[in-house]
Amino acid sequence: MGFDFFVATSDGEEIKRPRFLKILQRKLKLLQRRLKNKQKGSNNRHKLNQRIARLHQRISDTRKDWHFKLAHHLVKDAGMIFVENINFVSWQRGMLSKQSADAGFGQFVNILEWVCWKTDTYFAKVDKDGTSQTCPNCGTHTGKKYLEVRIHKCPECGYTTKRDVAAAQEVRNRGVTIEMLRHCA
């Protein structure tokens, strides 16, 4: 889950945040700004507040619907789903706070887990630490990447792919390894 895209997968797919949600959110901001010019207790203010509440509801319904569609899309043809185990509480205090809160990552992970359960698809969360600092092809520690570095290029094996896709592949590697160890134990 990331900054440029809502999610990237180990199959190389990158999924953008939907435009219709951005448009609705922009509309919401406009209405909220208009609220400042309305007199407290006035009928106009009351009406505008109702419009804002309705729009909030619409955004949340629309987002949830999209999360379900995306979850079904990801689960289709996948035998196993592994996601980064992100601590959303501490993450939201961090730099990505606004984007991640808007994007509703926490809700999406819950929906994805539910869809996996419904479709009998294995689901697990794996440790996310350093997933963007490890080459998924050879396991070399490639060091911290700045956020503006969008490409993973391994100095050891030369493996090159998009940054978030490489991180997703590392998440997959970890998930598969944990699963193998569990079966061997």
135 is a site residue for Zn ion (CB under 5 A):
yes
Amino acid at 61: D
151 is a site residue for Zn ion (CB under 5 A):
no
Q: Using CB under 5 A, which of 10, 137, 161, 173 touches Zn ion?
A: 137
User: In the bound complex, what is the minimum distance in angstroms from residue 136's beta carbon to Zn ion?
Assistant: 8
> How far apart are alpha carbons 173 and 92 in whole angstroms?
26
Q: Using CB under 5 A, which of 13, 127, 129, 156 touches Zn ion?
A: 156
* Residue number with CB closer to Zn ion (121 or 169): 169
User: In the bound complex, what is the minimum distance in angstroms from residue 138's beta carbon to Zn ion?
Assistant: 3
Q: Using CB under 5 A, which of 154, 167, 168, 171 touches Zn ion?
A: 154
160 is a site residue for Zn ion (CB under 5 A):
no
Amino acid at 41: G
Q: Using CB under 5 A, which of 95, 147, 149, 157 touches Zn ion?
A: 157
159 is a site residue for Zn ion (CB under 5 A):
yes
> How far apart are alpha carbons 159 and 135 in whole angstroms?
8
> How far apart are alpha carbons 126 and 23 in whole angstroms?
33
* Residue number with CB closer to Zn ion (63 or 174): 174
145 is a site residue for Zn ion (CB under 5 A):
no
Residue 141 DSSP code:
B
* Residue number with CB closer to Zn ion (154 or 171): 154
Torsion angle of alpha carbons 143, 144, 145, 146, nearest 10°? -150
3-class secondary structure for 145-175? CCCCCCEEECCCCCCEEEHHHHHHHHHHHHH
Q: What do you get for the CA distance between the two ends of the chain, in Å?
A: 31
* Residue number with CB closer to Zn ion (68 or 159): 159
Kindly list the residues in this chain that would bind Zn ion in the complex (CB under 5 A).
Answer: 135, 137-138, 140, 154, 156-157, 159
